[in-house]
Amino acid sequence: MTTAQRRPPAGDAGTRHTGGRRTLGLVLGACALAGACWLSLVAGSADVSLSAVWRALTDFDGSYDQTIVRETRLPRTVAGLLVGLALGVAGTLIQAVTRNPLADPGILGVNAGSAFFVALALAVSGGMSIAGYVWFALLGALVATCAVYVIAAAGRGPASPERLVLSGVALAAVLSGIVTGFVLLDPETFDRMRFWSAGSLSAADLPMLGTVLPFVAAGLLLAALVARPLNAVALGEELAGALGANLTLVRAGAVVAVTLLAGGATAIAGPVGFVGLMMPHVARWIVGPDQRWIVAVSVLLSPVLVLTADVLGRVLVGSGEVPVGVVVAFVGAPVLVGMVRRRRASTS
């Protein structure tokens, strides 16, 4: 993992082999994404035929089956798409900026920061519109990102990957502890936050997604802009400076992008961890170390993970459903363990 990140970007000297692999990765990613969307529209407790799903999207006639597809499954699928790509790209950026293969918005406490500020706002105001709490989710994400970095980088030298993870876990523990406190003190808030705090797509509806969409889009745009200079950051601070990258600007841009993306995703689904941890590695494995390609492939592949996890959560349990955050953690935690093992084995 680290060796892949420390290797200089392939750049123009990239072989034809890499080029073919990248195209293949994009095509496969697009196919997988289409498949996951289709699965998310079709799977569920109500048995809706394929043709009915298609007609609901193209030629809506208001029948019961079609209403299910349009009113519940379509918003869910869109929510899964948005959350997935936002978290995947946020993970890519955060890993590139911190040069840390273990970074992830969930592990680093960014999601917990969002949740904390939303809970705080709810506790103080007693209730607000979705548009209102998106802002608090974003603010929380920003504050938590900065706080974790400051804690981890206290003392001399750059923040080591492990130290960053620990600071994130500590901060997330404190913040989610306080959120639990809020929730128990005010049962009405509790009702609203209960499902949200487990990380679930089930509460999503289209107007809410419309509110969050601009933030995620802005984050994506910013990510696309900083992806190229991030290749220079991967070479280390001194080399990056020598290559003419404006480190402060790149870092600030990446942090704002992470804030927008992770905060937006948390506003939709609550804290969902591990997506941002796994997908950049999968993408890097497919397309090599160029950040531009990693971002592109993460955009395609991360929603596949979230949508598949959501479908699994719907299908696995007979009645009711497992929140997507729970399913993703089940897949993601072993990946984290595997990565720590490989990392040490390769460096020691």
Q: Which of 286, 285, 332 is CA-nearest to residue 305?
A: 332
For the purposes of burial, counting CB atoms within 10 Å of the CB of 21, is it exposed (0-12), middle (13-18) or buried (19 or more)? middle
Among 184, 221, 242, 249, the residue binding another protein under the rule CB under 8 A is 184
> In b/e form, how buried is each residue of 107-119, taking b as 16+ CB within 10 angstroms?
bbbbbbbbbbbbb
Does residue 210 interact with another protein by CB under 8 A?
no
Interaction between residue 1 and another protein (CB under 8 A): no
- Between CA 52 and CA 60 the distance in angstroms is 9
The single residue among 68, 121, 144, 165 that binds another protein, judged by CB under 8 A, is 165
Q: Is position 248 an interface residue for another protein (rule: CB under 8 A)? A: no
User: One symbol per residue from 304 to 343: x for binding another protein (CB under 8 A), - otherwise; what is it?
Assistant: -------------x--x-xx-xxx-xx-xxx-xx--xx--
Of 69, 119, 171, 234, the one binding another protein by CB under 8 A: 171
Q: Which amino acid is at 145?
A: T
Distance CA 345, CA 339 (A): 10
User: What is the SS3 assignment for 270?
Assistant: coil
Is the separation of the CB atoms in 331 and 316 below 8 Å? no
Residue 282 beta carbon to another protein: minimum distance, rounded to whole angstroms: 17
Cβ neighbors of 321 (< 8 A, separation 6 or more) are 202, 313, 314
Tell me: does residue 213 bind another protein (CB under 8 A): no
Query: Which of 146, 173, 221, 242 contacts another protein by CB under 8 A?
Result: 173
* CA torsion, ordered 233, 239, 244, 247, to nearest 10 deg: 40
146 binds another protein (CB under 8 A): no
Q: Segment 258-297, which members bind another protein (CB under 8 A)?
A: 273-274
Among 2, 38, 180, 315, interactor with another protein by CB under 8 A: 180
CB-nearer residue toward another protein: 34 or 173? 173
Buried b (16+ CB within 10 A) or exposed e, 305-328: bbbbbbbbbbeeeeeebbbbbebb
Smallest separation (angstroms) from another protein to the CB of 99: 17
Using CA atoms, how far apart are residues 43 and 157, in angstroms rounded to an integer? 50
| Distances, alpha carbon 14 to alpha carbons 19, 254, 289, in Å | 7, 25, 11
Question: x/- binding map, residues 91-120, to another protein, per CB under 8 A?
Answer: -----------x----x-------------
Q: Which stretch binds another protein (CB under 8 A): 4-12, 25-33, 169-177, 243-251?
A: 169-177
Q: Is position 203 an interface residue for another protein (rule: CB under 8 A)?
A: no
Residues of the shown chain interacting with another protein in the complex, contacts defined by CB under 8 A: 102, 107, 151-152, 154-157, 162-163, 165-167, 169-171, 173-174, 176-178, 180-181, 184-185, 198, 273-274, 317, 320, 322-323, 325-327, 329-330, 332-334, 336-337, 340-341, 344-345, 348
